Amino acid sequence: MTKPISNLRNFTIGRGTELRCKGWRQEGMLRMLENTIANGEKPEELIIYGGSGKAARNWESYHAIVETLKALENDETMVIQSGKPVAVFRTHEDCSRVLCANTNLVGKWATWDHYRMLEAKGLMMYGQYTAGTWAYIGTQGILQGTYETFAACGKQMPEGDLRGRIVLTAGLGGMGGAQPLAVKMAGGVCIAVEVDRSRAERRVDTGYCDLICDDPAQAMALAREAAQNGRQLGIALIGNAAELLPRLRTMGLKPAIVTDQTSAHDPLNGYVPAGLALSEATTLREKDPGEYTRRSLDSMSAHIRAMLDFQRDGAIVFEYGNYLRGHARENGVANAFDIGGFVPMFIRPSFSRGRGPLRWICLSGDEADLRTTDATVQAEFSDDPLLRTWMDMAREKVAIQGLPARTCWLGMGERERLGALLNDLVRSGKVAAPLVISRDHLDTGSVAQPTRETEAMKDGTDAVADWPLLNALLNAACGADLVTIHQGAGSGMGGSISAGHLLVADGSEGAARRLAKCLHVDPGIGVIRHADAGYEDAIAARDAAGMRDPMQPA
C-alpha cells in the first residue's frame, strides 16, 4: 500500500517551465492537482474542504494518478472513478486528457448510509465541487461569488451598499472563510461565528478576517462601533452557531443580513453539534455516529429557528446553499424554507445571461504572470464597473495561496474573449508558462441543485439534472482537458448533480480552438437552460449569441 507523503510541509507544486509530463495539457492537470491538495484544509487526508471533499480517493490512488499523468501520451485519456484511476484509453489529440466521475450513486441509493458503507470499503470518495475537479485555488475561489451576493444585498439598502450594516453569519472553513472579506468589500461589518479556532486563525493569517473574539458582548460592541463609523471590519466569534445566534439576538444584536456557510450538508463530518467541544465532537463522531448525527440535526434546527427569528425582526435572511434548511425541515422545522436561497434572491439574473465565476491559474508560479493577466483582463473589460471594482480590491486584499490565481465573473461571449487573450499571452511569451482556465461548479449551466443554484426555477424544473450532464458532454465533445461530473457536493448526498472542467491555455492553435469551443458551450448551455425555463433575459441572451431554438421555425 502506498503511504501518504510523510511531511506535507515539503509537499511541492510544480512551477516554472520544466515539464514532468509529455505535454502541457498533462502537466497542467498535475500542477492543478498538486495546487488543490496544497491548499486543502486537511491535506494529509487529501481533504480539501466541505467536511470530507477530496481530490483523490487515497494516497495510493493519488500516486497512481501522478504517475499516469507523467506517462500519458498526447492522444490518450485517463479515466478516474471517484478519485481512483481505472483506465487509460487511446482517444485522439483533441480529446480530453482526463475524464472523471465522483460520488455518483443511483437515485434510491444516494443516501449517506449507503455512501459511507462504500467509502469505508475504499470504493468511493466525496468529490465536492472544485476538490474533485482539481480546481481549488484557496479561499479566493469562493470570494468573488460571495462578494457578488453581498453586493446584491447591499443594493437593497437605502445607501445602495452595506455601509453601516452588520452581517451575521457562521462558518469559516474552505467556503465560508471568504465571508468576512466579501462583506468588507461590499462595505459592511461581519460577525462570523466559528467553532474551530484554528480556522478563524487561518482566516486572520491570510487577511480574510481582521480579529478573533471569544466574548459575544465584545464582538457586538466592536461591530456596532465600526458600523456607526462607516468602517469595514471582519470579526471571527468563537463558538457554536446554534448556541450563539439565539444568544446574540437576546443580547440585542440587530444585523441587517443573516446567513450561514457551515458545512451543514454533512451532519456527521461537516457540522458540529451544540454543547460539544471539538475534541468531544471528534470522540462522539467515532464512537456513536448515529447519536452525533441526531445531535447535529437538533442543532441545525435551533440554528434555523434563530435565523427565522432574525427574519421576523426585519433582517434579510438567506441560506447559502448548504442544505441547512433541508435538514432542519426534515428534523421538524416545518417553516424552514420561509428563508430563501441566495441564487433566486440575488444571482439568477446573472445566470440567465450566462454570467458566472471564471478563474485562471498561472502554472509558472510567478506573481508577475498574475499581474500581466490582471492588467489584460481589466483593459479588455474596462466597461464593467463591478468587475473593475473587484479586480482593484482583489489585487490589494487577496493573498495568493499556492499558484497565483484570479477569479472573476464573466458572461456569455466574454469568456471566449478571455480565453483567446490568455492563450495569446502564452503564445507571445508575455507570461512565463501556460495558464489554466476553470470555474466553480456553482455556475449558470453546470449544476442542478434544488436548494441552491436551481431553487425556485420559473418552470418548476429545479430537480432536472439533464442540464449539468449535457454541460459535461459538451465540454468533453469540445476537448476540455479535464471534465468531471459529481453528485452531492454542497447539498449533501442525493442533493445535486454538477459538472466541472479544466482548460489549458498553452499558446498553441489546438488550445485556441478548444478554448473557443468550450468557453462558448459551457455558459451557452446555461443560457439555453434558463431560456427553456422562460426567463426573458436568457431568451434575449440566447438570441444575441445566435443560438437557434430547434423548436422554433428556422
| Chain segment 444-462, per-residue pLDDT in tens | 999 999 988 999 999 999 9
Q: Which residues are catalytic?
A: 408
Q: In a 3-state reduction of DSSP, which class is residue 423?
A: helix
d(CA 477, CA 514) in angstroms, rounded, equals 10
Indicate the pairing of strand 482-487 with strand 98-102. Answer: parallel
Beta-carbon contacts of residue 393 (< 8 Å; ≥ 6 apart): 185
pLDDT value at 336 more than 50 = yes
For position 44, what pLDDT does the model report? Answer: 92
Beta-carbon contacts of residue 456 (< 8 Å; ≥ 6 apart): 341, 344, 462
For position 548, what pLDDT does the model report? Answer: 86
| Chain segment 131-156, per-residue pLDDT in tens | 999 999 988 888 888 988 999 899 88
Pair 504, 28: CB distance under 8 Å: yes
The CB-side HSE value for 151 (13 A sphere, CA atoms) comes to: 15
Please count the other Cβ atoms lying within 10 Å of the Cβ belonging to residue 550. Answer: 5
| Chain segment 515-535, per-residue pLDDT in tens | 999 999 999 999 999 999 999
For position 10, what pLDDT does the model report? Answer: 60
State what percent of residues in the chain have pLDDT above 70: 98
d(CA 359, CA 436) in angstroms, rounded, equals 8
Considering only CA atoms, which of 27, 129, 14 is closest in space to residue 497?
A: 129
Phi-psi region of 488 (alpha: psi -120 to 50; beta: other; left: phi over 0): left
| Chain segment 102-131, per-residue pLDDT in tens | 999 999 999 999 999 999 999 999 999 999
d(CA 240, CA 303) in angstroms, rounded, equals 9
| Chain segment 86-98, per-residue pLDDT in tens | 999 999 999 999 9
Considering only CA atoms, which of 291, 297, 387 is closest in space to residue 333?
A: 297
Domain borders along the chain are: 1-136+355-554, 140-338
**Sign of torsion over alpha carbons 339, 342, 345, 351:** negative
Determine the residue type at 132: G
| Chain segment 490-512, per-residue pLDDT in tens | 778 999 999 999 999 999 999 99
CA gyration radius, the chain: 22
Average pLDDT over residues 213-233: 98
The DSSP call for residue 320 is -
Contacts 24+ apart (CB under 8 A), 222-225: 223/166, 223/189, 223/191, 223/253, 224/166
- What fold does the segment set 140-338 form as a domain? Rossmann fold (3.40.50)
The x, y and z cell numbers of residue 38, run together, are 496544497
Considering only CA atoms, which of 523, 510, 443, 554 is closest in space to residue 75?
A: 510
Q: In a 3-state reduction of DSSP, which class is residue 113?
A: helix
For position 11, what pLDDT does the model report? Answer: 77
Architecture of domain 1-136+355-554: 3-Layer(aba) Sandwich (3.40)
d(CA 68, CA 64) in angstroms, rounded, equals 6
- pLDDT category at 175 given cuts 50, 70, 90 is confident
pLDDT value at 1 more than 60 = no
Q: pTM, whole model, 2 decimals?
A: 0.86
E strand spans, 144-230: 166-170, 189-194, 211-213
Per the prediction, the chain carries an average pLDDT of 94
- pLDDT category at 463 given cuts 50, 70, 90 is very high
Average pLDDT over residues 325-340: 96
For residue 316, what are the β-bridge partners? 257
